[in-house]
Amino acid sequence: MAELPLVVAITGASGAPYAVRLLQGLAAAGQPTWLIVSDHGFRLLATESGIASIEPLRDRVGAQAWDANVRVFDDRDRGALPASGSVPTKGMVICPCSMGTIAAIAAGTSRSLVERAADVVLKERRKLVVVPRETPYSDIHLENMLRLTRAGGIVLPASPGFYHRPTRIEELVDFVVGRILDHVGVKHELPRWSDLDPT
Ligand SMILES: Cc1cc2nc3c(=O)[nH]c(=O)nc-3n(C[C@H](O)[C@H](O)[C@H](O)COP(=O)(O)O)c2cc1C
């Protein structure tokens, strides 16, 4: 049976390199991916990774792998496929996930395709992984993350470990992306603790 698509959203929290690496990992694994980028997701992609639109993102992921695996949806189109619970998907990853988007999902507002797709994934009891990046957290942030967790979501913060003694930014990024891929059951060759133990 064909692999179900994974919905991936990029929103406006700091951490665009995580999103690029995640898309590369999914494409390398041949995972069909339905991509939604919010306006501020593009803003952060431009600021942090020099990617101002879909075309350079496709180039960064690799045009061939992109064309074989990635389908892009407009965040303003709340009637697109990821907005429907009757369309089967493997679940959804929001990476990075802004506190604004977390709040909207926690409140069930569904005012964009990202928000609606996440709402659908939760109601259909599929896997939702959100990758927040904020510091410090307010009461409101923590309560919203708790609500998502209680609704079945997985809050997987962009908090790389240092026990493998990373010397390059890419190693920190891979640490987080490897954990995301593990949670959505996508095979990868990013380093694991067992490979990294420096002792
Ligand atoms: C340069 C920049 C950095 C930002 N960093 C963060 C961040 O790390 N975490 C966060 O929750 N919001 C951050 N924001 C704010 C969000 O982008 C903003 O709340 C936006 O409305 C989120 O919309 P979206 O979730 O639809 O992308 C940042 C905004 C800018 C312009």
pLDDT digits (tens, 9 = 90+) for 31-46: 999 999 999 999 999 9
Give dist(CA 102, CA 155) in Å, integer.
10
How close is the Cα of 44 to the center of ligand 1, in Å?
8
| Cα 167 to Cα 73: distance, rounded to the nearest angstrom | 36
Residue 191 is predicted with a pLDDT of 76
Best mutation site among 14, 101, 130, 133 for ligand 1 pocket (most ligand atoms within 8 Å of CB): 14
Ligand 1: list residues with CB < 6 Å.
11-14, 38, 40-41, 43-44, 47, 98-101, 133-134
Q: What are phi and psi of 25, to 5 degrees?
A: -65, -40
- pLDDT class for 92, splitting at 50, 70, 90? very high
State yes or no: pLDDT of 181 exceeds 70.
Answer: yes
pTM attached to this predicted model: 0.97
Half-sphere exposure of 199 (CA within 13 A, CB side): 3
- Give nearest CA residue, ligand 1 atom 3: 14
The Cβ-side half-sphere exposure at 159, using a 13 Å CA radius, reads 8
Q: How many angstroms separate the Cα of 122 from the Cα of each of 73, 80, 151?
A: 19, 17, 7
Query: Which residues are 6's β-sheet partners?
Result: 33, 91
